[in-house]
Amino acid sequence: MSEPVLLVEKNAAVATVTLNRPDAMNAFSAELRLALGSAFRELQTDPDIRVVIVTGAGRAFCAGMDLKELGSGGDDASGFDKSVTGQDMAEAIAGFEGPVIAAVNGHAVTAGFELALACDFIIASTQARFADTHARVGMLPGWGLAVRLPRLIGINRAKELSFTGNALTAAQAYEWGLVNRVVAPGELLPTCRALAAQMVNCVPHVLKGYKKLIDTAYGMHLADALRFEKAAAIESAKQVSASAIAGRRDGVMQSGRDAASEQGAK
């Protein structure tokens, strides 16, 4: 019996989604793309899951599209296949309302790079490498790479990467602001799970609302974004009582003390 191409592990409020084609460096076959889309749609409907971590099995995060399948010209080879619900993989990931963390353990190439960028932020292993080879393969990106990458690292750096296909090391990715942290391989998932646990401690509906606020406002002009934020804040304030805030005060203060103690220990 063959191994499933995607593994989903649920631990309390956190789901870890693992691309599981290690012999193919987790390259996106049609089966894997559809499985990933289906998994995210299912996680969105699961009221217990509030944070998702995405990673890859073996030595790669995702090596991009399965070029062997892509070159076959078969059904769904283009990468823009649709599931029975009418949503493709990228739309399903975007439709998850909670935080999504990319735990990049190795090579994240082309479509794999796009997958990492589709997450809310990236934690990278020291073994991570990022590359955009769309121009070398002879295709244009369609899952957000040309839009998101320039906004994260600047248009000139993004053009250098995309026009050459050269790889970016984890250290360079951190220096350029692409990844939030670089950690030892053995610390990658523990670090992501610790961050996820901190997010789970936030007020559930506010965590979802904050993600939506940031993502929506980021695409607006400054003045419009400020008005949008103010309106969202006013609406949020209407829904919270003084007693609820007072009840959460001790927890917030304890979290601050714990963080300060941990920082001091380092």
Q: What is the pLDDT of residues 150-193, one digit of tens each?
A: 999 999 999 999 999 999 999 999 999 999 999 999 999 999 99
Residue pair 13/46 in contact (Cβ under 8 Å)? The answer is no
The pLDDT value recorded for residue 18 is: 98
| pLDDT at residue 84, as a whole number | 37
Is pLDDT above 70 for 254? no
Q: Tell me which residue of 207, 49, 43, 21 sits closest to 106, measured CA to CA.
A: 21
Q: Which CATH number fits domain 6-200: 3.90.226.10, 3.20.20.140, 3.20.20.150, 3.40.190.10?
A: 3.90.226.10
Give the confidence band of 263 by pLDDT, cuts at 50, 70, 90.
Answer: low
Cα(236)–Cα(73) distance, rounded to whole angstroms?
A: 50
Taking the C-alpha atoms of 112, 117, 119 and 122 in order, what is their torsion angle to the nearest 10 degrees?
Answer: 90
Q: Considering the entire predicted model, what is its pTM?
A: 0.88
85-89, 143-147, 226-230: range with lowest mean pLDDT? 85-89
Residues 77-95 have a mean pLDDT of 65
Q: Which of 117, 171, 112, 123 is nearest to 144 (CA)?
A: 117
Hey, is 93 helix, strand or coil?
helix
Summarised one tens digit per residue, pLDDT across range 90-113 is 999 999 999 999 999 999 999 999
Main-chain dihedrals φ then ψ at residue 91, nearest 5 degrees: -65, -35
Cβ 123 vs Cβ 179: under 8 Å? yes
Indicate the domain borders of the chain.
6-200, 204-265
